[in-house]
Amino acid sequence: MEKNYFVQSTTAHRQWTLRSLLKPIISREEFRNHPAIKLKFINHVQYIHLLTRGITKFLLSWVLQKQPCKFCLEHLHRREKKKTQSESFRCKCSQTENNREAFLEDGSGRLVNGLANNLNFQNVLGQPLKNENGNLLSDDGLTAPTSNIFGANSIEDEAWTLLHASIVHYCGNPVGTIAANDPSNSNTLNYDQVFIRDFIPSGIAFLLKGDYEIVRNFILHTLQLQSWEKTMDCHSPGQGLMPASFKVRTVPLDGDEDATEEVLDPDFGEAAIGRVAPVDSGLWWIILLRAYGKCSGDTSVQERIDVQTGIKMILKLCLADGFDMFPTLLVTDGSCMIDRRMGIHGHPLEIQALFYSALLCSREMLTPEEASADLFRALNNRLVAMSFHIREYYWIDMKKLNEIYRYKTEEYSFDAVNKFNIYPDQIPPWLVEWMPRRGGYLIGNLQPAHMDFRFFSLGNLWAIISSLATTDQSHAILDFIDAKWSDLVAGMPLKICYPALEGEEWRIITGSDPKNTPWSYHNGGSWPTLLWQLTVACIKMKRPEIAEKAIKVAERRIATDKWPEYYDTKGARFIGKQARHFQTWSIAGYLVAKLLIANPNAANMLVNVEDAELMNALSFALTANPRRKRLRKGPKQSFII
């Protein structure tokens, strides 16, 4: 009778290096003469992965359709015994330094991570192995297509395994996830660091699964980094700036050459390519802080004095007065997810949507006190001004496009229709043909005499989530995505922007950036991580069928392609030319999308509901006379932090 063999793990986060386990077996002469050598070894060992939650223990099951030889089992026992002895001397905090070897390729090219240490081989009587349709596998079923072995649930199981393998520990506690864990690329650059923006989908995935500790640790440790001294060429940026990323390093202990300690080494942009400023880091941090409180029910974190101070420092930095005439946040190029030169300097939509969401989240979490009255007043005024500005001037649909086409220019009056002196000739030819009759979107940027008509996915999706867009506009954006599915989704969701910069425009705007060539990376590339933002937006507008359709598109190939960072070409046909495999936020983005579709109410921790009080204030502002004499402001009052 055929037998099944089960491998049980008793440790949650330590890893079992399957590849190093199997290499000695495959290299030995006895194995080469083994009858099963006619088949690939990974097909000899049929892999079914079951990940259980709730008791912080992983159950990894191997079902062997064929009776393995005595040599195989003895070697596994011998290798595991040595492994268990050596593991007891390893610090958990440094596990991510060695997790690049913790993978095993299956027949389809996907990597599967084993999370087992103490293996107990049990000979258990079982039934013949069946495929996902319930049919018995034949003798040659070992070479069956992997689609029969890996169902949709197995993709999720694999994703969870990979996500846990990316966890970084600091002093024995989980504090984040590395950006990518690609064993095929030895040049890690900064992909072995914990990025603030990259961790957001990971953190939300952990929250949805009830793993609150890692998110809490991440919030508090990054808060400590906020107050670090940060300089570049003798210049120090604003005090409330959050780092772009951090890395756990082991350094010698002062006064003792033999002892070491772990430290967090942050990067505020002074080491980043192009020295770009991480403007969005603080905004994402506030959004995650609110999500943690809503999901876990633990509001003690956001009520802490140091956390309240951290929120105020970020707001003070963002609400500071400047020369700008607009209520939107003025930033340099490359200050958000698009962190290379792409012509988004000024007032990019992505930053404005995150800023608006962070303002609403902050207002909800800040403790009311007399000293914060001025801060609340400034916050509310900015929310009203921003919502009007974005909804009125960033919106584009066929009707608005026709209005711009008929604009008069050089208007000088308070009642000017063309307030920003936009020339009709700026309307790009591609937009005239591309704009559908139904639907619309928020443009990418607005400055004097300049409108960036490109469609930026993250900014539009987060405008829906944060209620920066009106209800009608939010539905129109989803209508637009649905109408332009072949362009924005195509072979993999979702285009980061559309269309790509090409020719002379690409050379001038990107500086001939070889990484941002047309339809690659930030210049029209497709990013799987955007799947979770699309899902939240669709759930908020009660249109989950759009997200479900996108998830099905992603499931066709994302696991087989080894969870790449991004895809190239207009139809997302190729894995990105410089894309990392096993990109953590691609993995986490898929998991969050699946979890939210299964439990739509959980999306409330990310959604901002339109505020009736703000809408009343906005209505009053719209009906007021724009030509009224402006009142002199009282003496400037600083925010007390």
- Residues 102-105: contacts with CB within 8 Å, 24+ apart? 102/15, 102/16, 102/17, 102/18, 102/19, 102/165, 103/18, 103/19, 103/165, 103/183, 104/18, 104/19, 104/22, 104/42, 105/42
Residues 254, 311 within the same domain: yes
Residues 401, 490 within the same domain: yes
pLDDT of residue 270: 75
Q: Is residue 624 part of a domain?
A: no
pLDDT of residue 83: 43
Residues 283, 427 within the same domain: yes
Q: Is residue 182 part of a domain?
A: no
pLDDT of residue 614: 75
Q: Is residue 387 part of a domain?
A: yes
Give the separation between CA 177 and CA 249, rounded to whole angstroms: 15
Q: Is the dihedral of CA 312, 316, 317, 319 positive or negative?
A: positive
Containing domain of residue 390, as a range? 194-318+327-614
How many angstroms separate the most distant Cα atoms in the chain? 93
Neighbours of 602 (CB within 10 A): 19
Closest CA to 608 of 387, 433, 445: 387
Q: Is residue 178 part of a domain?
A: no
Give the separation between CA 442 and CA 392, rounded to whole angstroms: 10
Residues 227, 376 within the same domain: yes
Residues 199, 158 within the same domain: no
Q: Is residue 177 part of a domain?
A: no
Low-confidence ranges of the chain (pLDDT < 70): 1-153, 227-235, 237, 274, 371, 619-641
Location of structure tokens 């209800």: 471
Q: pLDDT tens digit string along 336-380?
A: 999 999 999 999 999 999 999 999 999 999 998 876 889 999 999
Residues 544, 445 within the same domain: yes
Number of domains within the chain: 2
Pairing relationship of beta strands 59-63 and 46-50 according to DSSP bridges: antiparallel
CATH of the domain at 510: 1.50.10.10
Q: Is residue 395 part of a domain?
A: yes
Residues 153, 206 within the same domain: no
Residues 453, 592 within the same domain: yes
Q: In which order are the strands placed within the sheet that holds 256-267?
A: 194-195, 245-253, 256-267
pLDDT of residue 372: 82
Residues 136, 201 within the same domain: no
Report the first-to-last Cα separation within the chain, whole angstroms.
73
Q: Is residue 631 part of a domain?
A: no
Residues 232, 359 within the same domain: yes
The pair phi, psi for residue 148, each rounded to 5°, is: -80, -20
Residues 159, 198 within the same domain: no
Q: Is residue 622 part of a domain?
A: no
pLDDT of residue 49: 34
pLDDT of residue 50: 30
Residues 119, 205 within the same domain: no
Q: pLDDT tens digit string along 459-490?
A: 999 999 999 999 999 999 999 999 999 999 99
